Structure 1
Amino acid sequence: MNSFRRHRRLRQSGAIRSMVRETRLDVTDLIAPLFVVEGENVREEVPSMPGVFHFSVDRLEEELSELVDLGIPAVIVFGVPSKKDAVGSEAYSEQGIVQRAVRRIKELHPDLCVIADTCLCQYTDHGHCGVVKDGVIVNDESLELLARTAVSQARAGADIIAPSNMMDGFVRAIRQGLDEAGFEYTPILSYAVKYASSFYGPFREAAHSAPQFGDRRSYQMDPANAREALREAASDVEEGADLLMVKPGLAYMDIICRVRERFDLPIVAYNVSGEYAMVKAAAERGWIDERGVVMELLTGMKRAGADLILTYHAKDAARWLRGGID
């Protein structure tokens, strides 16, 4: 009689492996990003993100139809304005690019969940996520502008507000602003744990949001810190967040796990632009199996504790899920 366990018994066929699979990735777990720009008839690929495009509002329909046909339930809208100023006024303009895009999306597909990214960096001429005075990003004065932005996005029809600025007290300010404006049932997806990561480069190209001086390390988190992530998330829960995001995902699966163990709110992992670009570059050179790597990465984030995954791979992943992942 052998004295060892035969674990391989449960790996002998695709059917058995599927039956005992502990973590399941589904198309309903995916959130697809949209970059919306000013102008007409614009559909331009982002050079550092193959397969990701800038769309003008009038060209959104073709992309949205594809997403809906694939069964992807939600999009997050990032706006790229043509005008910028010191206080990011286009972020909270009723005719801002995000506001117009949200209205158009809800006209075309009212059941599609529309998430509005709520930040100022794309809209300020200095590229920072708040008001700048004497070279310092001023926290409390920035909160009022963020709340105004959130309210204008909710008024345009956004189903979820997703503040990404990492100012202290931003969830409380936005929750109060939404409630006072009559949007007490609009949820907040907080970028609760957002690191000052080197993986954001392609996004900054796509969103035209690189800071014009310094960096964002005074408000985004030090990548070396884990306990700080729990403090940040705890503050956002106390202030009224409905969902919590960890960003980036790939290098921070331990953080996803810790946040999942500590809090019972839905957890979102952001599979960010640099992670996407690395996979695409390696796949184009034939160095990796793109489908296998992408599905393994997304499944890993789900296994770590993410309920939802915001990913630039959303359309490809949805297609691959239709065919099974074994």
Structure 2
Amino acid sequence: MDRYPLLEIDGKIIRRNAEILLGECRRNGVEPFAVLKGFNALPGIRDVLVKAGYKTLASSRLPHLAAVKEAGLAVETLGLRLPMLSEVHEVVRVCDISLNSEPETLRALDRAAGAAGRFHKVILMRDLGDLREGIFEGERFIETALYVERELKNLCLYGVGVNLTCYGSVIPTEKNLSELAANAADIEKLIGRKLAVVSGGNTTSLPLLLRGAMPEGINNLRIGEAIVVPCDLAGQWRCPVEGLSNRGLVLKAEIIEIGRKPTHPIGELGTNCFGSHSHYEDRGVRRRALLALGAFDIGDPEKLIPDDPGIKILGASSDHMIIDIEESENDYRLGDVVSFTLHYQAMLFATENPLIKKRYVS
């Protein structure tokens, strides 16, 4: 008998998604890096991406990249999060490439690489308004690039990059990515060689590429979400890609209570278990079910997509989720299983949680 919650992982679907997006990128002059962190670098998914043809695997978590090295995979590894000073020796050990912005960190990496007898590649990050990592001033960005190239002998200035959307919600556009491409061109003139990588962002830059609007000079993206859970390409970004499926991951949960109840809480209201004020719509008495699944497992319950279109997600506490099934055509009973596909946040939680059983179905 299956144990729930259960995450089903379809390697064939994920591989097909990976190959489709790799093909789209290469047709547009872009060689993508495959990002592992969103699915917590599960080996059964990670290895599929290598078989699909990705040459560089990236994560913000060093243990993910250490596992790539230990598995002996014939790929390069990229550290996505700016290195902590306390981890530069580990970064040099498990990352072939790292993203950077701080001169002090670059000097520490240079010393660590020298001590290890290694040559470490760095991608210098520019902040173009999203206000997370990166050098904000264009002149200082170019000065730092020249410093790496001319002064830090154990480092290679491998490229430049930008991150957008993740903090400031700034959308990748022809304008902001053209600025990065122009910065790269200026640096190339000054150092007398081409940069290997001009990285125009993450999955959220794919719509620009798919619409044929990626600025000339951008030759890399860092993608992961769109490979495993591509639903936002068609939904949020209105940029569907033929052949992509969101069914590479399917989360299943069991009904532990079912019946008719009022839709508005009864009594004096305060905050919920997370200290927030919730809004409740009074729709009378309706049929609903309680699932053995909660925020501990998936984060925000709204980041799940019910397979049954007649289900409405009402909310969740740490370990329980409430769904409205009044309009479902299915005659649900106690012990039945309800299935969902996932948005990014739900994938992040569900793949990391050891209490959710993982099953590979192909």
Q: TM-score scaled to structure 2, two decimals? A: 0.44
- State the TM-score, normalized to the length of structure 1: 0.48
Structure ID, larger Rg: 2
Larger proportion of strand: 2
